[in-house]
Each structure stands twice: as structure tokens, then as C-alpha cells.
A and B are shown apart, each in its own frame.
Chain A
């Protein structure tokens, strides 16, 4: 069966510091992968998606970037965090029907 791993679970980072969040999927090959952000009490905003190694599409211009160095690995990064980057970051993989979400990373930028 397919599983999705995401880490770290929580992160507190100062403004201006770099960020790296990692997501890996097991039990499937060539998955569609997604990064979503959820601000406190808000909905799910699609940040990036990827259909394969090195293929990244950005939905919203922002202070973040994504990379897919391996088939089942998806990384979300920032060179310098802003206060507005705080939120709950969710990785997901998608098949023909529906997504499976990772457990999320709660990022607080201070």
C-alpha cells in the first residue's frame, strides 16, 4: 500500500532563515505530488505540483520554491523566511481519484 511521509512535524524558525521540508512516498512510482499551505483557520492553498522528476509547476508567486530530485521525493524550500510563511504545510500525492495527505508540518516564523 502507498504511504506518504512528511517531516518535520513542527518547526519554529526566525525571519530570514532558510527552510527545507521533505516529503517522500512509498509504494507507488511516478506519483503526482503536491505542496499545499493552510494558514491558521483558513483553506488549502496549492503552492506547487509535480508530475515527475525535475518537473515543478508553481501556482502562486511567493517566497518559496520546490524541487523533485527523485521520483518519490518532493522538497519545499525557502532561502529567507518571512512572517507570512507561517502555516501548516501539507504534502500530498494524487492518483486518478483523490489525494492522500502527509501528516503536515506546522511552521511558525518568529
Chain B
């Protein structure tokens, strides 16, 4: 089955800096890669996703890149703000047939003012 590894486990940055979180996956048939943000005590919420037919996707200050050959994808947050502080999870799945998201272990991002 699919296995998703995520690094780093914690990341501390100064406000205004960029943050990068990296994930690798094992199943070459996976073609859908979402990122979730979980604030303390809250549910995970989808912030951006990418499908295997594109290499990069941007939404304001966040972007995701995908390298299918190397089987890794990354989340990039620019101009970080204190409200970006949260735990971020990557995930991977096949979009055809029954979908079962496999999550990474999470990255705790702390943005200091």
C-alpha cells in the first residue's frame, strides 16, 4: 500500500520568511496530493491540492509542486504570518476507484512575530 513520509516534523520561521514542507510517496499510481492545515483543537482543512497532470499550483501565498518521477511533492508558504502557525499534513491517493487518503505524519509550523 501507499506510504507517505513528511519532513520536517517541526519548522520554526520568522514572520515574513518562507517555509517549505516536503513529502515523498511510494505508490506510483497515486495521482492526487492534497495538503491540510490543522489549527490547535480543530479539524484538518484542505488548503491546496494538486493532481498528477500538473507540476505546480499556486494560491496566493501558498504553492505546491509535484515531481512524479521522484515521487515527491512540496508545500511552499511565502511571506509567512503568525496565523500560518499550525500543523500541516500532506496526503496521497489514487483518484480513480475508491479513494483512500494516506497522510504524512505532519509538520508543526511555528511563525514567530
Binding site for B on A (CB under 8 A): 32, 34, 42-44, 46, 49, 51, 90, 94-104, 106
Which residues from A are CB-within-8-Å of B63? none
Q: Which of B82-113 contact A (CB under 8 A)?
A: 89, 95, 98-106
Contact of B43 among A46, A96, A104 (CB under 8 A): A104
Asked whether A49 lies within 8 Å of B100 as measured between CB atoms, the reply is yes
Asked whether B34 lies within 8 Å of A90 as measured between CB atoms, the reply is no
Which residues from B are CB-within-8-Å of A95? 99
Binding site for A on B (CB under 8 A): 32, 34, 41-46, 49, 51, 89, 95, 98-106
Q: Total A-B residue pairs with C-beta atoms closer than 8 Å?
A: 49
Asked if A43 meets B49 with Cβ closer than 8 Å, knowing A32-B99, A49-B100, A94-B101, the reply is no
Contact of A101 among B41, B45, B49, B100 (CB under 8 A): B45
What are 6 inter-chain pairs, A to B, with CB distance below 8 A?
Answer: A32-B98, A32-B99, A49-B100, A94-B99, A97-B34, A102-B43
Asked whether B106 lies within 8 Å of A43 as measured between CB atoms, the reply is yes
B37 to chain A minimum Cβ distance, whole angstroms, is 11
CA A96 to CA B105, docked complex, whole Å:
23
Asked whether B101 lies within 8 Å of A99 as measured between CB atoms, the reply is yes
Asked whether B98 lies within 8 Å of A101 as measured between CB atoms, the reply is no
B109 to chain A minimum Cβ distance, whole angstroms, is 14
Asked if A46 meets B89 with Cβ closer than 8 Å, knowing A101-B43, A102-B43, the reply is no
